[in-house]
Amino acid sequence: MEPEVVSSEMVLPAALPFKRVQMSDKYPKGQSRGRHWKHLKQIVQAENYSSLPAHEPNYLNIESPPSMYPSKKYCDITGFEAPYTDPRTSLRYANPGVFKRIRGLPDDQIQRYLTLRNAAIVLR
Amino acid sequence: MPPPSTMARPSRQPDYVRFSPTTPIVIDNGGSIFRIGWAGESDPRVSFRNVVQRPRHKASGETVTIVGDNDPALMKYFDCTRTSHRSPFDANVVYQFENMEYILDYGFERLGATSQVDHPILMTECIRNPLNSRSKMAELLFETYGVPSIAFGVDAVFSYKLNQQLGRCNEEGLAVCSGFSTSHVIPIVKGEPVAEACCRTNIGGFHVTDYLKQLLSLKYPHHISNITWEKSEELKMEHCYVALDFASELQLFQKGNEIAKEKTRCWQLPWVPPTQAEIPSEEELARRAALKEKQGQRLRDMAAARKSLRITELENELNSLEDLLQQIDEVEEPEVLSVLSGTKYFSRQELESAILRVTQSLRKAKGEPLEPEEKTDVPLSEKYPLVSVPDDILSPEQLKEKKRQIFLKTTSEGRLLAKRKRIEEEAMRERQNQLEEEKRLENPELYLEQLHIKYRELCEKIESRKRFKTNGNQNVSGGVGRGERLSAAQKERMRLLTSAAFDRGKGEDTFGARDEDWQLYKLMSKDNDDDDNGQEEDEAELARLTCRLQDIDPNFIPKPDLVQLQATTAEFPKFRPQTAEDFQIVLDVERFRCPEVLFQPNMIGIDQAGLDEMTGISLRRLSFDDSMKDEITKSIFVTGGNALLPGLLPRLEAGIRQIRPYLSPLKVVRAYDPILDAWRGAAVYANSPLFSSQTLSIQDYFEKGEDLLRQYNIKYTI
C-alpha cells in the first residue's frame, strides 16, 4: 500500500482486536457467498403482519395512505403546471414551445423523463 | 451539516480506555450519516457517511474495504470501476448486515476500541422496525462484538425529548421527522410516542437530491459528468428552498419577471476560454505561399520527369519493334517464325498492330492529338482473317487466335453501333431544340405559358408520388416510425393482403384461372416500386424544364422543396464558438421544484400523502378528543435533515392550518439542531442512571432469543 493511503487510515483493517468473530472467519475467502440477505419487501413479507391483530401498529400499517387531493399535473420538462399531455410520448407539457422540444427529444430522454415520475413503460 | 464530500476523515479517538465499562456508547444509525460517541457528551466523537465501498487496490490487487467518504485524491490507487457506494439500508430498515458490520467495525475502531467493546450500546432504529432487522442487529452486536447490553430507540423521539428539555416543545406534541429516505410523523403524548397513530411516507432527502440530480442531468446532458451525487447534495443545501405557495411561485417563474431573475441561481463550471488563433502576419503568409509554391514545383518536376522517362521508354520499344519488322522484311517467308520465336509476336500483323499501339501511346504521352483509332478503309475480313475460316482446318493455336479475333470484332462492332446511336440521338435533340426555338420565336408568351404549365404538372406528379409513398411526412426513409400512420402505399398493400386472404377462404377457388390474377402478387410485394423508372425520367425532365425556364424567364424561381429535398431534411444548428454561458448550470424552478416532492410525493410517482397531510392523518389516527389534539398541535416539532430547507416550516404551518379547524391553536417549531439532536437526545437518555433498566443483556438474549426482541419496547420517560 502507498504511504499516503496507509497514513490516511482509510482502509479498514482485515482483523480487528475487539471482535469475537472476524470478518474473514465469517465470510471465508474463495467460497461463494450467494445472497444471504433479504430485501425490505421480503423482510416485510416474512414478518407475516396479516396474521397479527390489525390495530397493532407495525412497519406496514403505519405507512401513510395516498393523498386525498387530486394530484396536480406538472410539465415534465419545465416544472410548470401542465394542462396538456402529448399522446405520443405521454409527456406532460406546459406550452407549445415545450411541445416542440418534446417532439425533438430522443427516445431515451423521453423514457428518463417518464421514469422520474415513475411512469415509464418497463419492458421485462 | 457540511457537505459529505468535504467532510474530514474522522481521526481515531485516543481515550477509549478512559471510559468505565458502564458508560454506554451511543450510536445514531442514520440513513445518511452514522454517528457514534459517548453517553453524556455533547457531541458524537465520530460521524461519517453511512456507506461502504469495496474497491480493488490497484497495486496489490486485493479487495479492500473503505467506509464513509474519502479524499478523492487518494481514490486513484483503487479500482472503483466495479463497485460503488453501498448502503446497509433499504428505505429506513437495515437489510445488508455485511455492510452494517463493516460500518460498525469502522465506527468502533475510530472510537478507539482496543480489546473488547464492553460497553452498553444505545442504537437508533426506525419506529416499528421489522423484527427480522432488529434481531439481526442484536445478533450482530451480541455475537460478533460481545456487547454486554443493548437498547433500541427512535431517533425522532430522542430529538423531541432533548428539545422538550430545552423548552422548545411541550410534553404533548407531534414530532415531524423528515430524514434521508423516509419521513415520519409521530404524535407524543405524556412523553411517549403513540405508535399506532404515527405515519410514514417513503420520501426524504435522498429523493430531493436524486430528483435534482436527474433533472439537471436531463437539462444539461453535456455536463452529465459534472453533476455528481455529491455536487447535487451540495447544490441542494446551498440553493433549494420550499415555496410557501408552490403554484404562485411557479407562475412567478413562468412569467419570468425581475423577481424570478433575482431568484435564479447559476453554477459556473470550470471553463477556460479557448486561446484565439492569432491572425498570421504578412511575412508568415508570404512564407506559407512560398512553401506551397515550392511543393507544387516539386510535384510538377516529378511529373515531368516521369513523362520524359515514359517517352524514352516508348521510343526505345518502338525502335526495337521497327528493327524487328525490318528483319522480317529482309528474311524469306519461311524463316519469319524463327526470327519471331524469341519475341512474343507470332505474325507480321501482330507486330504491325503493336507498332501502331506504341506509336499511339507515344503520341499521347507527348501530348499530340490522336489519330482516328479505326481505319475504316481496312476491311474487316482483312483485320480479322481467321473469323471466316472454318474451325476444322485450324490448329489449336489458331483456334485460340480465332476466338480472340471474334471477340475483338464483336466489341468493335458494338462500339461502332453505340457511336452511331449517340450521333443520332444528338441530332434528334438538336432537332427538338430547334423546333422549340422556332416555337418560342413564333409566340414567346404562349411558349412560356406552356412551359410553365408543363413544369407545374410535373412538379405535382412527383410530389403526389412522394406523398403517396411517405404519407406527407418528412420521413424520407419510408419506414413507419413510432406513432406514425401507414402511408397510402402501405395501406393499399395491407388492404390487398387482407382482401386476398378473405376472398380465398370461401366458395370455389378460381384464383389463377385468369392470367391477371397473378398480377396481384406483384402489387402485394413489399418493394412495389414499379414506376421507379418513370419517376427517374420525370425527374430528369423536370430538371431540364427548370434549366430552360431559368434560361428564358428571369422571374422564374424553382420550387425549393423539390429541388433540394435532401439538403433540407435535417436542420443542423449553426456552429458557434463556446462561451462561458455554455458551461453554466442554471437553477431556477429546480430550486423549489425538488423540495416540493416532500409535500407532493406524486411528483416523483410515489402515491402517498405529503408532509402536511401526514400530520392530519396522524391526528386522525389518534384516539383522543379534540382538546387533546389542540394541545398536541400547539407543539409541532420538526426535525431531520430536511428541516434545514429554508421555508419548510412556514409551508408546513400553512398546510396544517388548512387541515385543522378554524382558529385552532397551532405552533410549529424547528429542532435546535435538526441534524445532531437525535444523537444528543440519545446521549442524554443513555446518561441517565436508569438507562440500564431499558437495556437487553447478552444473557437474556442467549436465554430467550428473538422473543425478547419482539416484546422489547423502550420507555422514553425514565
- Taking CA–CA distances from A57, the nearest residue in chain B reads B196
Residues in CB range of A80: below 8 A, 6 or more apart: A74, A94, A95, B250, B253, B254, B589
pLDDT of residue B450: 84
Question: Which helix or strand (DSSP H or E) is residue B121 part of?
Answer: strand B121-125
Residues of B in contact with A26 (CB under 8 A): 101, 144
B253-277: average pLDDT: 83
Residues in CB range of A77: below 8 A, 6 or more apart: A91, A93, A94, A98, A101, A102, A113
Question: Which helix or strand (DSSP H or E) is residue B338 part of?
Answer: helix B336-340
B192-209: average pLDDT: 94
When CB atoms are compared, the residue of A9, A64, A116 closest to B200 is A64
Local structure of B367: helix, strand or coil: coil
Q: How many residues are recorded in chain B? A: 718
Residues of B in contact with A62 (CB under 8 A): 127-128, 195, 198-200
Strands B173-178 and B93-94: unpaired
Nearest CA-CA partner of B675 in B165, B126, B52, B156:
B156
Cβ pair B71:A8 closer than 8 A:
yes
- Taking CA–CA distances from A65, the nearest residue in chain B reads B608
Higher per-residue confidence, B503 vs A52: A52
Strands B636-639 and B93-94: unpaired
Q: Which of A104-118, B35-49, B224-238, B545-559 has the lowest mean pLDDT?
A: B545-559
Burial of B236 (0-12, 13-18, 19+ CB in 10 A): buried
Q: Which amino acid is at B124?
A: T
Question: Is the CATH number 3.30.420.40 carried by domain B1-51+87-155+673-718?
Answer: yes
| pLDDT confidence bin for B476, thresholds 50/70/90 | very low
Helices and strands (DSSP H and E) totals, chain B: 25, 20
Å between B177 CA and nearest CA of chain A: 14
ipTM: 0.93
Å between B242 CA and nearest CA of chain A: 15
pLDDT of residue B620: 92
Å between B413 CA and nearest CA of chain A: 60
Q: What is the CATH number of domain B169-265+588-670?
A: 3.30.420.570
- Taking CA–CA distances from B252, the nearest residue in chain A reads A80
* Cβ atoms within 10 Å, residue B148: 20
Cβ pair A57:B128 closer than 8 A:
yes
B231-256: average pLDDT: 93
Nearest CA-CA partner of B41 in B111, B95, B105, B110:
B111
Å between A35 CA and nearest CA of chain B: 10
Residues of A in contact with B61 (CB under 8 A): none
Nearest CA-CA partner of B412 in B463, B374, B461:
B374
Residue spans of the domains in chain B: they are 1-51+87-155+673-718, 169-265+588-670, 288-373
Cα–Cα separations (whole angstroms), residue B642 to A50, B1, B206, B609, B669 = 33, 11, 10, 17, 14
pLDDT of residue B572: 46
Strands B89-90 and B52-53: unpaired
Fold equal for B1-51+87-155+673-718 and B169-265+588-670 = yes
Highest mean pLDDT among B237-241, B329-333, B511-515: B237-241
- Taking CA–CA distances from A70, the nearest residue in chain B reads B602
Whether B425 shows a pLDDT value over 60: the answer reads: yes
Whether A64 shows a pLDDT value over 90: the answer reads: yes
Q: How far apart are CA B653 and CA B644, in angstroms?
A: 15
Instruction: Work out the mean pLDDT of chain B and round it to a whole number.
Output: 84
Q: Across the A/B interface, how many CB contacts are shorter than 8 Å? A: 177
Report DSSP state, residue B665: -
When CB atoms are compared, the residue of A12, A27, A113 closest to B105 is A12
pLDDT of residue B582: 81
pLDDT of residue B562: 45
Å between B120 CA and nearest CA of chain A: 15
Q: How far apart are CA B138 and CA B140, in angstroms?
A: 5
- Taking CA–CA distances from A3, the nearest residue in chain B reads B74
Å between B94 CA and nearest CA of chain A: 8
pLDDT of residue B244: 94
| pLDDT confidence bin for A30, thresholds 50/70/90 | low
pLDDT of residue B532: 54
pLDDT of residue B385: 72
Q: Which amino acid is at B194?
A: V
Cβ pair A66:B64 closer than 8 A:
no
Residues of B in contact with A20 (CB under 8 A): 143-146
Cβ pair B74:A5 closer than 8 A:
yes
Whether B448 shows a pLDDT value over 90: the answer reads: no
Q: What are B142-173's pLDDT values in tens digits?
A: 999 999 999 999 999 999 999 999 999 999 99
Q: How far apart are CA A32 and CA A22, in angstroms?
A: 18
Cβ pair A64:B608 closer than 8 A:
yes
- Taking CA–CA distances from A10, the nearest residue in chain B reads B66
pLDDT of residue B642: 94
Report DSSP state, residue B141: I
pLDDT of residue A93: 94
Cβ pair B96:A94 closer than 8 A:
no
When CB atoms are compared, the residue of B102, B114, B132 closest to A12 is B102
Angle in degrees, CA B340, B345, B347, rounded to 5: 80
Percent of chain B with pLDDT over 90: 48
Q: How far apart are CA B617 and CA B613, in angstroms?
A: 6
Q: How far apart are CA B349 and CA B381, in angstroms?
A: 13
Cβ pair A63:B60 closer than 8 A:
no
pLDDT of residue B508: 67
A58-83: average pLDDT: 92
Local structure of B173: helix, strand or coil: strand
Specify whether the CB–CB gap between A74 and A38 falls below 8 A. Answer: no
Helix locations, B203-281, DSSP H: 205-219, 229-239, 246-255, 258-263
Higher per-residue confidence, B716 vs B383: B716
| pLDDT confidence bin for B42, thresholds 50/70/90 | very high
pLDDT of residue B482: 52
Cβ pair A112:B218 closer than 8 A:
yes
Cβ pair B218:A2 closer than 8 A:
no
Which grid cell sits at B576? 458557434
pLDDT of residue B483: 52
Residues of B in contact with A88 (CB under 8 A): 482-483
- Best of B58, B77, B110 to disrupt the A interface (most A CBs within 10 Å) is B77
Residue-by-residue DSSP string for A72-119: P-B-TTT-SB--EE-TTT--EESSHHHHHHHHHS-HHHHHHHHHHTT-
Which grid cell sits at B693? 433498566
B530-537: average pLDDT: 63
Q: How far apart are CA B213 and CA B72, in angstroms?
A: 20
Q: What are B574-619's pLDDT values in tens digits?
A: 566 777 778 889 999 999 999 999 999 999 999 999 999 999 999 9
Question: What's the distance, CA B606 to chain centroid?
Answer: 25
pLDDT of residue B565: 41
Cβ pair B195:A71 closer than 8 A:
no
Nearest CA-CA partner of B49 in B83, B122, B113, B99:
B99
Q: What are B539-573's pLDDT values in tens digits?
A: 788 888 888 777 777 677 666 544 444 444 344 44
| pLDDT confidence bin for B370, thresholds 50/70/90 | low
Q: How far apart are CA A65 and CA A89, in angstroms?
A: 29
pLDDT of residue B1: 42
pLDDT of residue B478: 45
pLDDT of residue B648: 95
Torsion angle in degrees (nearest 10) through CA of B347, B353, B359, B364: -140
Which grid cell sits at B152? 433500541
Strands B149-154 and B121-125: parallel
Cα–Cα separations (whole angstroms), residue B75 to A3, B57, B349, B517 = 13, 9, 86, 75
When CB atoms are compared, the residue of A38, A71, A88 closest to B602 is A71
Specify whether the CB–CB gap between B487 and B468 falls below 8 A. Answer: yes
